[in-house]
Amino acid sequence: MNAIIKGVDICRQFPSGNKKIQVLNNVNVDFEEKTLTVLKGRSGSGKTTLMNILGTLDRPTSGRVFAFGEDITDLSEGKLDEIRKNNVSFVFQSVALMGTMSAYENVEFMLRIAKKPMDKERILHCLDLVGLSNRVYHMPYQLSGGEQQRVAIARAIVHRPKVIFADEPTAQLDSETSKVIMNMFHRIIEEEGVTVIMTTHDQNMMELADKVYTLDDGKIVSYVDNREGR
């Protein structure tokens, strides 16, 4: 299978006074279409920095990023913005729902941001896909933490992105709810044809992923393809 996103020899440095901190060091990763890949590592391992670079929110100090059939490393901010608007979406640890908007309105808001036509049927389908067809007009304060995260996922897929980047999406959830979210990602992959790349340090989530890259001190220290044993 061809990689939908690929990082080659990715390095990232950040200035700190008169020194430079090496956060990523010659990282090589690739992500196949319609898979769920986990970037695993303790806090400070570099996994979120890597995700930000792959998701066009940051640029590498050196190395190349290939996505959607082209080298995007040196594209202008305008072209990267178009990629973000059309091809990628993000789910964060903090769900960041609009508190004055219902579940439906929060999902609809993403279509406005992406400048896509309003599509009630699509919005309702996405909420149904994450198991919230009975919570469509509930406000965030009326939803549990897991339900709020599901609204955030519905919001992330409504404009039909090719890749979803999820940064610690289960960090604030209990283990059972976390498993529900992981299984939901698999269902979305199957039905929507998206690719999911997520970060976590939760060992319980590893077996539910298709592939796992483990980072430590800015380097890939292990790689596991769970599909080989299925």
Strands 62-67 and 219-225, how do they pair? Answer: unpaired
Q: For residue range 121-153, what is the model confidence (pLDDT) as tens digits?
A: 999 999 999 999 999 999 999 999 889 988 999
The larger pLDDT score, comparing residue 169 to residue 9, is at 9
Q: Using DSSP, how many helices (H) and how many strands (E) does the chain show?
A: 6, 10
Q: What is the DSSP string of 46-60?
A: SHHHHHHHHTTSS--
- So what's the pLDDT on residue 66? 96
pLDDT of residue 165: 95
Is-contact 144 115, C-beta < 8 A?
A: no
pLDDT grade, residue 172 (50/70/90)?
Answer: confident
Query: Three-state DSSP class for 125?
Result: helix
**pLDDT above 90: residue 158:** yes
Q: pTM to 2 decimals?
A: 0.90
Instruction: Determine which of 1-10, 23-32, 47-56, 89-98 has the lowest per-residue pLDDT on average.
Output: 89-98
Given this model, what pLDDT does residue 145 score?
A: 86
The pLDDT of residue 104 is: 96
Give the orientation angle of helix 103-113 with respect to helix 120-129, to 10 degrees: 120
pLDDT at position 92: 80
Segment 197-226 shows an average pLDDT of 89
Tell me the average pLDDT across 100-122.
92
Q: Report the share of the chain in percent with pLDDT over 70.
A: 98
Show the domains of the chain with their CATH numbers: 3-87+162-229 (3.40.50.300), 97-160 (no CATH)
pLDDT for position 163: 96
Whether the per-residue pLDDT at 100 is higher than 80: the answer is yes
- State which H helix or E strand residue 84 sits in: helix 77-86
